[in-house]
A and B are shown apart, each in its own frame.
Chain A
Amino acid sequence: MLRVELSTQLLRIRTLIALACLAAVPALAALAGASHAGHRNGDQGGLFGASTYSALNHTMASLQFIAPLLLPIVVALLACAIASADRDWGTLRYLYVAPVTRSRLLAGKLGAVAVTTLTATGCVLAGGLISGLALFGWHPFHIIGAADLTGGAAAGRVLAATGYTLLCMLSIAAVSFVLGLLLPRGAEALGAAVAFVVAASILNGQPSLHTIAVMLPVHYWQNWTDLFTPAGTARLGTGIVVQIATIALAAGISVLVLHRRDPAA
């Protein structure tokens, strides 16, 4: 079923365009900053300010730029489609009489959500790394106002940042997947998922609504940037717990919905 879901979704033109966009944004950003190669990127600080120093710097800056909105929208698009497309097309009944059991169907869909989320995140990283290599070269990871990271330290932090972002994207993928199962059409589910991300981001920026924002997974999505500051991993733990809890809750609801729903209802 995993192969069925992947071949159905990944071969769609809109999927390929969305993934290409994810890879194109870092490339365009690299072109914009090409004149600053090897120097600080304007007056900006943090990862954005250091993005022009090396390919890895550019990759992490690209991730920081895309992860709050564009990447989750693409991930939500794919997850909603995986959850609802066969129902929208009417092919779900033919899968059941093929016959495919509910458990196999759900396992295939969840696996496909994981693979497509990984692919989407990978597109950002690949786009950033390739364009960074071409325009900024392979140099030690630079941190503004601190010593360059050693190769090992940089690799460890980049891997940790990637893993953490992947986990965050899996949480929005899981939420989108549930919406795709619950709502009648995939388009409605995508709209709801995007609205959730946008609303959560707005909440996140309102200090008076802090108590609500901390309950939402979106609040923790940028915590990985601390890996490249003196704060280090201090805030990652809570973020990891919240993302895993979100994924577990969404997967549990998915199981309940898919196992209890009469496909003909």
Chain B
Amino acid sequence: MERSTAGTTAMIRADDLSKSYGRTQAVSGLGFAVDAGQICALLGPNGAGKTSTLRMLLGLSAPDTGSARILGRPVGLGAEVLGRVGVLVDGPAFVPHLTGTRNLKLLWSATRRAWPPPALDDALDLAGLGAAIDRKVKGYSTGMKQRLMLAQALMRAPDVLILDEPANGLDPAEVRTLREHLGALARHGAAVLVSSHQLAEVQQFATHIVVMNLGRLVTAGPLADLLGDTDAYRVQLDDPRGAAEVLRRMTGVTAVTARGTEFVVAAPGVAPRDVVQALVTAGIGVTSVQQVSRSLEQVFLTMTEGDTGHAAR
């Protein structure tokens, strides 16, 4: 197994990956690694090259240059190491005239493995299809197909998960269940790579992000480091009356925004204890003070907006 730049075990590794389709450069010199226990979100606007990257990582597309490795082994079409990878790529796909169960059996037994797979029960719980699992897939809704495909990816108890837009078609409760499931897998040592457009959702479960734009790497690293803290505090008060006046009078406070009993105070260079002290001195009870972090959406748009160019696949 290879060592990542952080000195830990790289379960997924892309080194200098490049791919073009005709004159369109889909991916150019991309490199990143995902270690055990990490949930890495692959982000980028449409045409950034995310799906092309996932295809190369899975051996479905041969890179023009560079290499992809999973669990330290080079990946090609049908590579043996893929047996330890759970995959959802380019959306769900099934044999329409077969039942959900039959489809799962088909993909599992294609590699001469004995039914059932090791994590079938957990995967079916996540899919939550109930009796519909024994109905023909052609009658499934988009969400049902997505859940069945996720069950297919998870039933093999994978060491590595590579999922392209896994939350597509899922309702909020299903998204939360999926998030918890992925978190549990990562805590047990799996590496998870998720491509997604749902930034607010990604912010809730990703530990790391890789941002691409126009086929190139924009940034990669721990989510917390990339988001960082702002100079603003979120202050929760018992009674907001008079608080805005007190806060605005403080030296260093540049803006105060009130939302009921919550205030957002922009105060560069001001320590939180000074904010609390000023309020308490004025007889206003403070319930909590939190430093405001930037949202992933803000970070993402800052990194990717304004770029123009030919779209990649």
Contacts and interface: CB of A to CB of B under 8 A. Distances in A.
Contacts of A102: 77-78
Given A11-B97, A91-B94, A97 B89 contact: yes
A101 B77 contact: yes
A263 B77 contact: yes
Contact of A98 (B52, B89, B92, B107): B107
B49 to A, nearest CB: 12
A263 B96 contact: no
B161 to A, nearest CB: 12
B289 interface: no
B118 interface: no
A94 B108 CA distance: 10
Given A90-B91, A104-B78, A265-B21, A97 B98 contact: no
Interface string A95-139: 111111110110000000000000000000000000000000000
Contact of B61 (A4, A12, A90, A264): A264
Contact of B95 (A13, A91, A98): A91
B121 interface: no
A263 B61 contact: yes
Interface string A75-90: 0000000000100011
B290 interface: no
A3 B152 CA distance: 19
B238 interface: no
A182 interface: no
Contacts of A97: 58-60, 82, 85, 87, 89
Contact of A264 (B60, B79, B83, B95): B60
Nearest to A87: B93
B62 A99 contact: no
A47 to B, nearest CB: 38
A102 B94 CA distance: 19
A96 B76 CA distance: 10
A67 B110 CA distance: 34
A262 interface: yes
Interface string A41-66: 00000000000000000000000000
Interface in B147-168: 152
A1 interface: yes
A198 to B, nearest CB: 29
Counting chain B CB atoms within 10 Å of each CB, the highest count among A3, A93, A99, A262 belongs to A99
Interface residues of A, number: 28
Given A8-B106, A104-B78, A264-B60, A98 B111 contact: yes
B55 interface: yes
Interface in B32-69: 52, 55, 58-62
Contacts of A104: 78
Contacts of B78: 96, 99-102, 104-105
B109 interface: yes
Contact of B109 (A3, A90, A101): A3
B90 A4 contact: no
B62 A262 contact: yes
A207 to B, nearest CB: 46
A93 B90 contact: yes
A78 B106 CA distance: 19
Nearest to B51: A264
A96 B77 contact: yes
Contacts of A96: 58-60, 77-78, 82
B97 A1 contact: no
Nearest to A1: B110
A229 interface: no
Given A100-B78, A262-B61, A263-B77, A95 B110 contact: yes
B80 interface: yes
A98 B90 CA distance: 15
Counting chain B CB atoms within 10 Å of each CB, the highest count among A1, A96, A102 belongs to A96
A96 B58 CA distance: 9
Contacts of B80: 99
A193 to B, nearest CB: 22
Contact of B152 (A4, A90, A93, A94): A94
Interface string A3-26: 110011001110000000000000
Contacts of A93: 58, 60, 89-90, 93
23 contacts: A4-B110, A7-B106, A8-B95, A89-B96, A91-B94, A93-B58, A93-B89, A94-B152, A95-B110, A96-B59, A96-B60, A96-B82, A97-B58, A98-B83, A99-B78, A99-B80, A99-B111, A102-B78, A105-B78, A263-B60, A263-B77, A265-B21, A265-B61
Given A89-B95, A100-B78, 11 more contacts: A1-B110, A8-B106, A12-B97, A13-B97, A90-B90, A91-B94, A93-B58, A96-B59, A100-B111, A265-B21, A265-B61
User: Which 6 A-B residue pairings sit nearest by Cβ, starting from the closest?
Assistant: A90-B93, A101-B78, A99-B82, A264-B61, A99-B78, A97-B87
